[in-house]
Amino acid sequence: MSTPATHAAVRMAEFIDASPSPYHACRSAAALLETVGFTRLAEVDAWTGAPGAHYVVRGGSLVAWCTQEHHRPWSGFRVLGAHTDSPNLRVKPRPDRRRSGFAQLGVEVYGGVLLNSWLDRDLGLSGRAHVRASGGVEERLFLVQRPLLKIPQLAIHLDREIHTDGLKLNKQTHMSPVWSTLDGDERGFVAWLASELDVDEEDVLAWDAMVHDTNPSCLFGQANELVSAPRLDNLCSSFCALTALAGAVERGAALEYVPVVSLFDHEEVGSGSAAGAESPLLRGLLERTVLARGGTREEFHRAVADSLCVSIDMAHATHPNYADKHDPEHEVRVNAGPVIKLNSNMRYASESESVARFQLACERADVPCQKWVMRSDLACGSTIGPLTAQNLGMLTVDVGNPQLGMHSCRETCGSKDPGYLLRALGEILQ
């Protein structure tokens, strides 16, 4: 049952369940934004300078912003950045495998997957395909939410060493899901996908297809104080950023800075793509909003110099079973507010000025916040924050909600934390 403290978590769960792939995440994001008046722009069109709320979609990435009458070309930006992709298993170009009476799919591991977490789960398929259409190529999204695939684990009777040597999984040989028995009526992947898309088999040209957990997200715990969901990293952050932006626009109040949300694809594999944080996507779109308002490149650089980016990516809560993996002076708890992430080697873009600004926003929103660093003898991950700071020269702070089981097929966070983060981000945009 939802309470005022967990209402945002329930809405977040609905957003996550509707967004099993980056492309579906962008569709869910667009639907949320359009309810408060955002309209989609095409990158190939000329943009006018009329004030308004707009968004652009490029593959699995989305950038949205809102300009108001009083915004000048040199008005600074408040950017909320996150990413739409999560570690998973993706279907290979020639995926059909047949062995020992079973039809299987060949998959490739995407990102830093906790392989064992995908075993013995009810799995579906989602993504996009490009099909032959009149005069060219057309993109189609597809989503199969029912249990379609499973990766069965080897029985313990055949792996007696698992307790002494641990579970050892080979990405090539052990992760192929089963999806049919060989009875003579089974279809290959292309034939199956063509049927789902309602096109002829020869018209399926290419796809970006991925496996996802079909069990719905839910609250759990004695008082529903926890959330169990796939893809919390990083759809929790994406949802909070989008909802903060939609709320700021819906209220209609005058905003000193131009509010922006940038959701990037391919963060989990380094961001080096045409739609990733290392691309010129955000920089180019921000500059175009300035030029569309009659500004110059000089005024664009002035705007960037007066801007702040909040890079939002999930953080590690202190694990009760592995407390020794965390810095003892920087314990992080769920339901204790967003985490400011710091690293002296700039794996995160936080620096004292940006940290202070976010901390002050939390104080004004009456939201608790925490600070985290990795143990000095362990390497930490990274985010879109350093890439955004590097590409734009924009003051940036890295933050995120705490969670357990990062990069698992199923992750855990606190049910109060989405509401905390949403309030803090709303204050940033104000």
**Architecture label for domain 88-213:** Roll (2.30)
Q: Is 213 exposed, middle or buried, given 0-12, 13-18 or 19+ CB atoms closer than 10 A?
A: buried
CATH class, 7-86+230-429 region: alpha beta
**What distance in Å separates the CA atoms of residue 88 and residue 102, rounded to the nearest whole number?**
22
**What distance in Å separates the CA atoms of residue 204 and residue 129, rounded to the nearest whole number?**
7
pLDDT < 70: residue spans in the chain: 1
Side-chain-facing half-sphere of 302: CA atoms under 13 Å: 11
pLDDT in tens, 195-222: 999 999 999 999 999 999 999 999 999 9
Kindly provide the b/e burial profile for residues 219-235, where b requires at least 16 CB atoms within 10 angstroms of the residue's own CB: beeeebbbbbbbbbbbb
- The H or E element that residue 81 is part of is strand 77-83
According to the model, what pLDDT value does residue 1 have? Answer: 59
According to the model, what pLDDT value does residue 135 have? Answer: 82
According to the model, what pLDDT value does residue 4 have? Answer: 81
Common-topology check for domains 7-86+230-429 and 88-213: no
**What distance in Å separates the CA atoms of residue 230 and residue 217, rounded to the nearest whole number?**
7
Boundaries of every domain in the chain: 7-86+230-429, 88-213
According to the model, what pLDDT value does residue 184 have? Answer: 73
According to the model, what pLDDT value does residue 15 have? Answer: 98
According to the model, what pLDDT value does residue 173 have? Answer: 96
> Whole-model pTM?
0.97
According to the model, what pLDDT value does residue 52 have? Answer: 96
